[in-house]
Each structure stands twice: as structure tokens, then as C-alpha cells.
A and B are shown apart, each in its own frame.
Chain A
Amino acid sequence: MGRIGIMAVKLAKHMLKLFVVLTGITLLSFSILHLSPKNPAELWLSGADPNATAISQEAIEKQEKAMGLDKPFIVQYGIWLKNAAKGDLGLSYATKKPVAQEIYNHMTPTVEMTFFSLLFTVLISVPAGILCAVRKDSAVDNFFRIISFFGISVPSFVLSLFLLWIFCIRLGLFPVIAQKGAIGIVLPSAVLTFQCASKMTRQVRAVILGELDKPYVQGAKMRGIGYGRILFSHVLLNSASPILTFAGIYVGVFLGGSAVIEGIFSVNGLGQLAVSAVARLDYNVLQGFVLWCAVVYFCVNTAVDALCALIDPRIKYSRG
């Protein structure tokens, strides 16, 4: 088989895996939602508003029929799956708008936050991690260790509230309720960046330290190759694989929206959508959100795998 053939087979295998995982995830969330004691028909009619007046039993039953809730569970899931494949994710119980549109509307702040947080996380962590690894146990190393320690030990909502207090209330630099556009996402992105950069700096440091320990580094040093060259031509490339994997994980996490952070800074992102959907038991929105997360996760994973295979020939030739 030629190169194209091999890649086509790999792609097909990936698509199959994607399908299996997506089905598994959506089936899982479908099951969990339906385990809830609340009645979706009732929720639909009341607009998922807990303060709505009571609805008559006949109206509920009529709605149940309309929503196909009288059919067996698997059939219901099958119907959802079929519609989802066509791009129809149903309507939100609360707003009665298409789920896909709801997700789209809330996507912008989340994507913006993802972009900036990831950018700064990588810009900070990679050089810092390398520096810390190269100058292990020095003042710089300890400095970053202490700061990153804060980053991983403070919960996101505490940090967010703290920043809110300092920058919005005390210093008045930002409005307490975020506005649309660039200004609104500065603080939440800062929180995300701080947290993930802390984690990632440590991870980068560990990976590079692991590489530096390997015999080929000693060998290269003994042959008189300059340290800088060893670092950039060899160690970095070898470390790229795990580092990319970590970055991929963070992208997936960011794109799922950070519900708590968004809530505190009043950012209208996907995290907020998901949390309010859970509170209202807005099943369709939740299913759509879960699907979104799964697709994102899978795409990012595949992209990272492909990138790693590109960079590291060992991986490319060991597979397929």
C-alpha cells in the first residue's frame, strides 16, 4: 500500500474510534440525565423555570408523547443520535432555541479565553520550565517552584474572587461585571493562565530533566558539542512530544469552558451555559455540550498525536 493508503487506513481507524467514543459518551450522559427524577416534559412546559406555576397532568402527558418520552430508553437515544448525525441537536428546554445555536452563541468568549490562555501558558511555561530544568535547584528554579506551587494549590474560584476583589473592587481597574469584548476576558484568562502555567511549568521542567538525564546528553557533552546546541537541537525536540500532549490536554480543558471562573467574572461562555443547563436539567443543551466536549477532546488528541508523529520519527515508524 502506498503512503496514501496507509494514511487512509489510519484515518478510518480514527474515525471509528471517534464514533465509538462519542457514542459511549453521549449514551452515558443520556443515561445519567434520564436517571434524574425530574420529568423532561414537565421541564419543557415550565421552561425549566422552578418558579413556574404547576402544569396540568394532561398537558404533561401530551408533551411526553410529543417528545417521544413514552418510547423505550434505547429508542429515545437512537432518535437523538440520528438527529445529531444530521446536525439537529434539538431545542433548549429553557429558551426553545436550537441547541446548536445556543452553543454557538456562547462559544465566543470561551474560544477567546482558550486562545489567550493557551498562548500565554505556553509562552510562560516552556521557557520557564526549560530554565528551571537547566538551572535546577538554583534561585530561579526555586522562585518558579514557589509561584507554581501557589498556582496549583489555590482553587480557581478563590483565585478568581481574589483577583476580582483586588482589580475590580479595590483598584477599580476592571468593571466588576465583564463587558463583551477583549477587556472582559482579561481577568478570567489570567486566572486560567496562572493555573495552567503553574502546572505546565512543572511538567515541562520534569520532562526536560528526564531528557537531560539520558545518556545521549552526556555523550554529546563529552564529544564537545556546545550545551546550547544540545538543548535546542536534541533535548527540545525529544521533549516536544510530551509537552505537546500536555498542551493538548489543556486546550481540551479550556474549550470545555471554566464554569466557575466564568460565573465569577460574569462571562457568558460555554461553562456558564453548561452549569445553568445542569441546574435547569436542560437535557438537550447538556447533551449538545457533552458532544461538543467530546468532539473537541478527540480532535485535539488526534491533532496532537499527528504533530507528535511528525516531530518524532520514532513514533511515526513504530505505528502502522
Chain B
Amino acid sequence: MEKRKKRGTAFYIISAVIALIILAAVFAPFIAPNDPNEVNLSVALAPFGKKYPLGTDALGRCILSRIIYGARVSVFISLAVTAIVFAAGVLIGVLAGYFGGALDGVLSRLITIMQSFPKIILVIAVAGILGSGVKNIVLALCMVEWVGYARISRSLAFGQRQRTYVKAARVCGESHIRIILKRIIPNIIHPLIVQASLGTAGVIMETAALSYLGVGVEPSTAEWGAMISTGREYLQTNPALVLLPGAAIFIMSALFNMFGEKLRDKMN
């Protein structure tokens, strides 16, 4: 006998926390105790204290403030990328899965090609060509991330195409566009949204990885990956410089992963 599912309060708690963090990111200037970019070498590498709750980094910048501002960048980039690739990937996937035939052949080849391409290299190369900066990271990540959504929505749409209600709709003279928008997409949207949530977590990690490698945001920006990159050389003496932003990335990513999982549980 399966256990009865509990009331699903965890879902709302997680959603609330995510909403809080997004709010904190938006209102960062009001929440951060100090200016994240204020360099003050006299207090460099300070321990936890009243003025600098999480201490300072090698240039005397308040770590807590940088983490809060870092949330801005991460939240913005991950949500932007996910929104774009979701729309684009689902569109391409549904078109391929629904219409099949030559269109599917071409799009499937394209998807296969993009999949076998080493992701990191592509992102770094594109980011390298475009230069650093938030907009360029978003662009570079978009070019790589859409494939996942395309693949999933393609197989989902393909599964729906065979169903009776689609055939019935065609017989009744419904146009393809109507069928796709009004019938197929609502039926496949649930797993896709779950995927979007998990995907957002992935993008957060990838953004940080890019910045860590130096091809992400401008090097001195308050961004978690960049903080880890600069803090790395102090790993022996001040591991907090690496571990604190690392924990931030983990928490953000974990929250979105949990959100996606609870969502999936709820929908099933």
C-alpha cells in the first residue's frame, strides 16, 4: 500500500523561499549592508564581524553584499535564459514532433549535432567571441540550452500526435496551428515546466562555471562564480572566500531543483 501523500506544504515553503530570494535580489541595494564594489584594502580578508557580517575578500569588499548582489546576476541570467530557451526549444520540438516528415528529419539532425557538440566549448567560444557581459552570457547559454527542451517537447508532441483527439480535431477541420496551441501544448506543458525548473538550477551552475573560467561577467563584478575564481588563491588561508559563494550557488540551485521535484510530485 502506498503511503498517502502529505499535504504538500513543502512545495509552498520552497516557493516562498525562492520568491523571497528573488525579492532580495531585486531590492539588493536596500538589503546589502555595504557597497559590494567598495575596495578597502585596510580591511582585506577580515573575519566575520558587525560591519562585515561574512567578512571581506582580498580587496576588502564585503562578502555578504557581494553575495546578495550576486543573486541579482544569477537570478536574472538563469530566468532570462530559461524563458528564452523554453519558448524556442518547445516551439522547435513541438513543430518537429507534430509535423514529422522532412521537418522533423532536419530538426532532429540539428538537435543531434548540437547535442554531440561539447557544450562547454561552445559556450566558451561564443562567449569569447561576443565578449564578457551579462547579455552575452545569456546569448551564449541560450545557444546551448535550447536543445534539451526541444528534445523533450519533440518526443512529447510526437506521443500526442497519435492520440485520438488530435485525429478527431483534424477531421473536424481544425487547423494545425489551433491544434498545436489549444490542444497539444496544454497537454504537454506539465513535464516541460518541471524541466524548466530543473533547467534553471542548471543554468545557475553553468553561469557560475563560466564566470569561474573567466568568460562570464566582467571579472570584478559581484557574481558567485567570479568570487570563487578570485578567492581560489586564498583557499589555504581563507577558504570562506570560496566556500561562501559556493554555498550560495548550491542553495539557489538546490531550491530550484527542489521546486521542480515538488512540482513534479504535485502534478503526478
Say yes or no for B68: interface residue by CB 8 A criterion.
no
Pairs of residues from A and B, 5 with the lowest C-beta to C-beta distance, nearest first: A297-B116, A158-B246, A155-B205, A153-B254, A24-B113
Say yes or no for B235: interface residue by CB 8 A criterion.
yes
Say yes or no for B257: interface residue by CB 8 A criterion.
yes
Say yes or no for B112: interface residue by CB 8 A criterion.
yes
* A residues with CB within 8 A of B: 20-21, 24-25, 28-29, 32-33, 35-37, 136-137, 149-150, 152-158, 161-162, 164-165, 169, 252, 256-257, 259-260, 263, 271, 274-275, 278-279, 281, 286, 289-290, 293-294, 297-298
Say yes or no for B118: interface residue by CB 8 A criterion.
yes
In the complex, are the beta carbons of B257 and A152 less than 8 A apart? Answer: yes
Expressed in whole angstroms, the Cα–Cα distance for A161 and B247 within the complex equals 12
- Tell me the minimal C-beta distance from A114 to chain B in angstroms: 14
In the complex, are the beta carbons of A293 and B125 less than 8 A apart? Answer: no
Q: Which of A162, A260, A281 contacts B209 (CB 8 A)?
A: A260
Q: Which of A149, A260, A286, A298 contacts B125 (CB 8 A)?
A: A286
- Tell me the minimal C-beta distance from B250 to chain A in angstroms: 5
B250 contacts which chain A residues (CB < 8 A)? 150, 153-155, 158
Say yes or no for B243: interface residue by CB 8 A criterion.
yes
A29 contacts which chain B residues (CB < 8 A)? 117, 121-122, 125
Q: Which of B109, B124, B208 contacts A155 (CB 8 A)?
A: B208
Expressed in whole angstroms, the Cα–Cα distance for A36 and B130 within the complex equals 8
In the complex, are the beta carbons of A35 and B117 less than 8 A apart? Answer: no
| Chain B residue, CB-CB nearest to A36 | B129
B235 contacts which chain A residues (CB < 8 A)? 161, 164-165, 169
Q: Which of A25, A169, A281 has the most CB of B within 10 A?
A: A25
| Chain A residue, CB-CB nearest to B212 | A157
Q: What class of interface size applies to chain B in its complex with A?
A: 35 or more
In the complex, are the beta carbons of B242 and A161 less than 8 A apart? Answer: yes
Expressed in whole angstroms, the Cα–Cα distance for A147 and B110 within the complex equals 36
The contact sample of 27 A-B pairs, CB cut-off 8 A, is A20-B109, A21-B116, A24-B109, A24-B113, A25-B116, A28-B117, A29-B117, A32-B122, A35-B129, A137-B3, A152-B257, A155-B208, A157-B209, A161-B242, A165-B239, A165-B243, A252-B116, A256-B118, A259-B120, A271-B120, A274-B120, A275-B124, A275-B213, A278-B121, A278-B128, A290-B118, A293-B116
- Tell me the minimal C-beta distance from A171 to chain B in angstroms: 13
Say yes or no for B228: interface residue by CB 8 A criterion.
yes
Expressed in whole angstroms, the Cα–Cα distance for A162 and B212 within the complex equals 15
Expressed in whole angstroms, the Cα–Cα distance for A136 and B109 within the complex equals 39
In the complex, are the beta carbons of A274 and B121 less than 8 A apart? Answer: yes
B239 contacts which chain A residues (CB < 8 A)? 165, 169
In the complex, are the beta carbons of A153 and B257 less than 8 A apart? Answer: yes
A257 contacts which chain B residues (CB < 8 A)? 118
Say yes or no for B32: interface residue by CB 8 A criterion.
no
| Chain A residue, CB-CB nearest to B5 | A137
Expressed in whole angstroms, the Cα–Cα distance for A289 and B125 within the complex equals 13
B81 contacts which chain A residues (CB < 8 A)? none
A156 contacts which chain B residues (CB < 8 A)? 205, 209
B113 contacts which chain A residues (CB < 8 A)? 21, 24-25, 28
Total A-B residue pairs with C-beta atoms closer than 8 Å? 123
In the complex, are the beta carbons of B213 and A259 less than 8 A apart? Answer: yes
Say yes or no for B197: interface residue by CB 8 A criterion.
no
Say yes or no for B175: interface residue by CB 8 A criterion.
no
Expressed in whole angstroms, the Cα–Cα distance for A205 and B150 within the complex equals 24
Q: Which of B117, B122, B128, B235 has the most CB of A within 10 A?
A: B117
| Chain A residue, CB-CB nearest to B236 | A169
| Chain A residue, CB-CB nearest to B243 | A162
In the complex, are the beta carbons of B228 and A157 less than 8 A apart? Answer: yes
- Tell me the minimal C-beta distance from A263 to chain B in angstroms: 8
| Chain B residue, CB-CB nearest to A277 | B121
A281 contacts which chain B residues (CB < 8 A)? 128
Say yes or no for B194: interface residue by CB 8 A criterion.
no
Say yes or no for B217: interface residue by CB 8 A criterion.
no
B85 contacts which chain A residues (CB < 8 A)? none
| Chain B residue, CB-CB nearest to A155 | B205
A33 contacts which chain B residues (CB < 8 A)? 125
B257 contacts which chain A residues (CB < 8 A)? 149, 152-153
B249 contacts which chain A residues (CB < 8 A)? 154-155, 158
Query: Which residues of chain B in 84-120 are interfacial with respect to chain A, using CB atoms and an 8 Å cutoff?
Result: 109-110, 112-113, 115-118, 120
Q: Which of A33, A157, A290 has the most CB of B within 10 A?
A: A157
Query: Which residues of chain B in 213-234 are interfacial with respect to chain A, using CB atoms and an 8 Å cutoff?
Result: 213, 225, 228, 232
Say yes or no for B21: interface residue by CB 8 A criterion.
no
Known: A35-B129, A137-B2, A153-B257. 5 other contacts (CB 8 A): A155-B205, A157-B228, A161-B232, A289-B118, A298-B116
